[in-house]
Chains A and B, each alone.
Chain A
Amino acid sequence: MLLLASRLSHCLLLTPDSIATLNLTDRIGTTVLGGVLLFALFLPTLLVLRRHPQRGIIDCAYQHSRCCGRVVCGGYAALGIFIVCLDILQFCDFAEKVMSSGLSVTALAIALVAVAFVATFYGIQALGRTAALVTAFASVCLLVFAFALIPEMDVVHFPPTVGQGAGAVVRCALEELPRTAEVVVIGMIYPYVRGSQSRAVAAFCGGTVLLTLLVYLTAGGVLGDFALQTAYPYYTAVTAARIGVFQRMDILITAVWLSTFFIRMTLFCLLFTDSTRRLFGMRGARYAVGIVFVLLAVFSWAVRRGFLSEAGYPITVVYWIVLGVFCVVLPLLLWGLNRIKRRRCV
């Protein structure tokens, strides 16, 4: 639920950048393939942690050697901050284009980061319970909007498939996949998963596919090609929803997005605080959080708006490197080291 809530925040912001390479009809195939690839990305982490379900990936690294643990902790802390920075950019972009609250976007972003950092002190279980509520509410909202928008949908709105072949679909799925940064967090939250971890991961992948499909079908069915001309197609589609006398329900989707976004930001802040606590202890982690908060506040104020859309491709590349390191290389390395250690013991 925690990962799904976090993933929803990205899924609701279906941006034209992410649908430009293939049209919405072709994207349906891409989404299903993306779900399968997503599950495959979890496998190395599940492989290394299956023998020790009570330990996270950082525990495994510390088990091997203190130095290794410190490096992994540092890597996770840096990763958490990197994703929070991207989230701040995303929030500023959405707030400027859509929310038009009249308040300073920078002030809003700083407030959000502050609340996210404070929320990390309540722990991952409290966040998980909140995420369960948020995910349930968001899923109901997505379904309600989809039904409310049926009168505005038409088969003709779905563009004819481009027919570029399976290669284009696979390429597009590979471009979209690294944006699911939640995969890297599984190493941290693994010990907290109730029941079968593999089933939980499969449920996350299935839920992601279903909710993404719902968003694609709603935005595509309502807007068609016009989806490519708007900043946030799903949000634009929802502005046309009408239930009885109620109109302009986009405020509801803004609230849903903010809730899921808060979960995502808190999750990655938690990744940072948890890693720094292991590195510097409780007292040191507080100082680190304070310093990083100030840096993030400066970042929110100084960063150029529109950077996110301009740097779309480089960010995708960085995401791929990050995923490659934290989801494939690191787990497989730890798995290999553990195996060697076990053999030596034998």
Chain B
Amino acid sequence: MKWLWVWLIPLLFLLCGCRSEPAVGEQVIVTGMGIDKQDGVWTLAIQAVEALKTAGSLSEQNESATAVYTADGASVAEALQAFLNETGKRTYILQNQIFVLSERLCRQQSVFDVLDYFMRNQEGRALVDVVVSHDAPAALLDITTGSDAIPAEYLSQLLDEGRRYARAAEAHLLDIERASSGMYDLLLPRIAVTNGVPQLEGTAVLRNGVLCDILTQQETTGMLLAGGDSDRCLYTIDDITFLVSDMHRRLTVESVGGTWRYRIALTGVARVMEQQPTMEGSTIQPEKALQHVEIAIATTAETALRRTATQDHSDPFGLSRRTATLFRHRGVTQAMVYEQLPHSRIHVTTQLSLRH
């Protein structure tokens, strides 16, 4: 039985090795990718790490360690091929951190089609951020920041911080994939570049993947709190800044005369972060200001939810799916609720307790 060691030989075939992998010099490491389309021509903006600029510590660099390349083509795949033809380098997208889609493109075409190439591609990651850019994607990817040598990292941090305080909707490539199955509609964070500085500028509402509305920053906060996507926010009212946290949402659905009534009750805790005297020099009681915060959150959330449901006919929180789950014993389906959604009534109430 000594000959049995030969079983190790077939095992060699199972080792992956580096035989067919391209060398580092033959590819660009993509950190951000912008997609735009005009007159039927797709334009890709590829933010890639420049090998020569990364010598030394990235944190000590004064300028961006990346360069932005552009490539055109009849499709995303062709534009990537054109990039390969022009530069002689392949794109390595595993390190990609963000997809920037132009607002114009999102109004024309479904994001499911726009990102189809990347949804099929197994080389990327599922948790890549996706944003809508008010400006051309290349302009957003080409920003220079003092804090980060890689602009895509800066944008990711901006989005992370925005999500923590209900200023930006969470949208990854995985969310686009999930939404493509028709479970719910999408909310994408919107970023605009003002004087070379990127800023969160509300939220893009999509219906079946196509951009149909833009929510303001305040509406975004109300919407994300009401949707249960965020549990904290900063609110400045009557010269007092509150940190609203530990927000809990309770959703109840009732069937009223063939349509649906949604009641969303928000409860949370508010702490005074900062209090400034008013212009007249007097101070306002935090308890009184807190009532204004409650009303402001409820009003903005209600406005945003009603607008997305009734005007935009969009369902970003899967209300139709939740309703179908609750009323399945009556034979209610998701499609039926989705059709009735524009006629439904939505009420939001907020109750905050003040903690000193």
Min CB distance A226 to B, Å, is 4
Given contacts A98-B122, A115-B10, A242-B127, contact A226 B181 (CB under 8 A): yes
- A-B pairs with CB below 8 Å: how many? 86
Determine whether the beta carbon of B11 is less than 8 Å from that of A111: yes
Out of B10, B317, B331, name the residue touching A111 (CB < 8 Å): B10
Q: Flag whether A157 is at the interface (Cβ < 8 A).
A: yes
Q: Mark contacts of A92-114 with chain B using CB atoms, 8 A cut-off: 1 yes-contact digit, 0 otherwise.
A: 00000010111100011011101
Mind listing 25 A-B residue pairs with CB under 8 Å? A98-B122, A110-B13, A111-B10, A111-B13, A112-B10, A112-B14, A114-B10, A118-B4, A121-B1, A152-B174, A156-B184, A156-B318, A159-B321, A160-B325, A160-B334, A163-B329, A163-B331, A225-B181, A226-B178, A229-B180, A229-B181, A239-B125, A240-B126, A240-B127, A248-B125
Smallest CB–CB gap between B237 and chain A, Å? 31
User: Cβ of B282: which chain A residues have Cβ within 8 Å of it?
Assistant: none
**Contacts A101-B16, A107-B13, A224-B183; A160 near B174 (Cβ below 8 A):** no
Q: Contact check, A156 vs B183: say whether CB atoms are below 8 A apart.
A: yes
User: Quick check: is B135 within 8 A (CB to CB) of the other chain?
Assistant: no
Residues of A230-287 whose CB lies within 8 A of B: 236, 239-240, 242, 247-248
Cβ B181 vs Cβ A224 within 8 A = yes
Question: With A100-B122, A107-B13 as given contacts, are A225 and B328 in contact (CB-CB < 8 Å)?
Answer: no
User: Closest CB-CB distance, B296 to chain A, in whole Å?
Assistant: 27
Question: In the complex, what's the smallest C-beta–C-beta distance from B345 to chain A, in angstroms?
Answer: 21
Q: Which residues of A contact B182 (CB under 8 A)?
A: 225
Contacts of A228 in B (CB 8 A): 181
Minimum CB–CB distance for A107 against chain B, Å:
6
Verify B178–A224 contact, CB threshold 8 A.
yes
Q: With both chains docked as a complex, state the minimum distance between the C-beta of A154 and any C-beta of chain B, in angstroms.
A: 8
Q: Does B270 contact A (CB under 8 A)?
A: no
Using A223-B178, A240-B174, A242-B127 as known contacts, say yes or no to A108 and B14 having CB atoms under 8 A apart.
Answer: yes
Q: Is the CB of B7 within 8 A of A119?
A: yes
Any chain B CB within 8 A of the CB of A198?
no
A121 & B174 in contact (Cβ 8 Å cutoff): no
Q: Is A161 an interface residue (CB 8 A)?
A: yes
B residues near A (Cβ < 8 Å) are 1, 4, 6-7, 10-11, 13-14, 16, 19-21, 94, 122, 125-127, 174, 177-178, 180-184, 317-318, 321-322, 324-325, 328-329, 331, 333-334
Q: Which residues of A contact B7 (CB under 8 A)?
A: 114-115, 118-119
Alpha-carbon gap, A236 to B6, bound state (A): 36
Q: In whole Å, how far is A42's beta carbon from the nearest beta carbon of chain B?
A: 32
- A-chain residues with CB within 8 Å of residue B325 when the two chains form the complex: 158, 160-161
Q: Is the CB of B11 within 8 A of A115?
A: yes
Q: A102-B20, A108-B13, A121-B4 are in contact. List 9 more A-B contacts (CB 8 A).
A: A102-B19, A111-B13, A111-B14, A112-B14, A156-B317, A163-B328, A225-B183, A226-B181, A240-B126
A240 to B317, CA, bound (A): 21
- The chain B residue with its CB closest to the CB of A242 is B127
Task: Scan A57-69; emit 1 where CB is below 8 A from any B CB, else 0.
Answer: 0000000000000
Residues in A whose Cβ lies below 8 Å from that of B14: 108, 111-112, 115
Contacts of B126 in A (CB 8 A): 236, 239-240
Alpha-carbon distance between A242 and B20 when the two chains are bound, in angstroms: 28
> How far does the alpha carbon of A122 sit from the alpha carbon of B1 in the complex, in Å?
10
Q: Flag A130-162 by CB within 8 Å of B: 1 or 0 each.
A: 000000000000000000000010001111110
The CA-CA distance from A226 to B182 in the complex, in Å, is 8
A101 CA to B174 CA, complexed, in Å: 24
Contact count band on A: 35 or more
Question: Which among B94, B181, B321 is the interface contact of A156 at CB below 8 angstroms?
Answer: B321
Distance (Å) between the CB of A37 and the closest chain B CB? 26
Question: B4: which A residues are within 8 A, CB to CB?
Answer: 118, 121-122
Q: In the assembled complex, which residues on chain A have CB atoms less than 8 Å from the CB atom of B324?
A: 160
Q: Which residue of B lies closest to A162 (CB)?
A: B328
A93 to chain B: closest CB distance in Å? 15
* A151-187 interface code vs B (CB 8 A; 1 in, 0 out): 0100011111101000000000000000000000000
Complex interface: chain A residues within 8 A of B174 (CB): 152, 222, 240
User: Across the interface, which residues of B come within 8 angstroms of A225, CB to CB?
Assistant: 178, 181-183
Residues of A close to B125: CB separation below 8 A: 239, 247-248
Q: Is A157 a contact of B10 with CB atoms below 8 Å?
A: no
Residue numbers in A under 8 Å from B180 (CB-CB):
226, 229
A-B residue pairs, 6 tightest by C-beta: A118-B7, A102-B20, A225-B181, A111-B13, A240-B126, A111-B10
Find chain A residues with CB under 8 A from B21 CB.
102
A190-235 interface (Cβ within 8 A of B):
222-226, 228-229
With most chain B CB atoms within 10 A of its CB, the pick from A112, A152, A156, A157 is: A156
Bound state CA distance, A152 and B20, in angstroms? 34
Q: Which residues of B contact A161 (CB under 8 A)?
A: 325, 328
Nearest chain A CB to B221 CB, angstrom units: 21
Which residues of chain B come closer than 8 Å to A157, judged between CB atoms? Answer: 178, 183
Q: Give every chain B residue within 8 A of A158 (Cβ-Cβ).
A: 325
What chain B residues lie within 8 Å of A121 (beta carbons)?
1, 4
In the complex, chain B residues whose CB is within 8 Å of the CB of A248: 94, 125
Smallest CB gap from B333: residue in A = A160
- A224–B317 CA distance with the chains assembled, in angstroms: 14
Tell me how far the C-beta of A242 lies from the nearest C-beta in chain B, rounded to whole angstroms.
Answer: 6
Could you say which residues of chain B place their CB within 8 Å of the CB of A101? 16
Which of the residues B10, B13, B122, B317 comes within 8 Å of A103, measured between beta carbons? Answer: B13
- Chain A residues near B10 (CB-CB < 8 A): 110-112, 114-115, 118
Q: Report the minimal beta-carbon distance from B128 to chain A, rounded to whole angstroms.
A: 10
Question: What CA separation (Å) do A101 and B15 show in the bound complex?
Answer: 9
Contacts of A115 in B (CB 8 A): 7, 10-11, 14
Q: Which residue of A lies closest to B326 (CB)?
A: A160
Give bound CA distance, A229 to B177, whole Å: 9
Chain A residues with Cβ under 8 A from B122's Cβ? 98, 100
Q: How far is the CA of A107 from the CA of B10 in the complex (A)?
A: 9
Closest chain B CB from A100 CB (angstroms): 6
Contacts of A224 in B (CB 8 A): 178, 181, 183
Q: How far is the CA of A240 from the CA of B119 in the complex (A)?
A: 13
A160: contacting residue among B20, B181, B321, CB under 8 A: B321
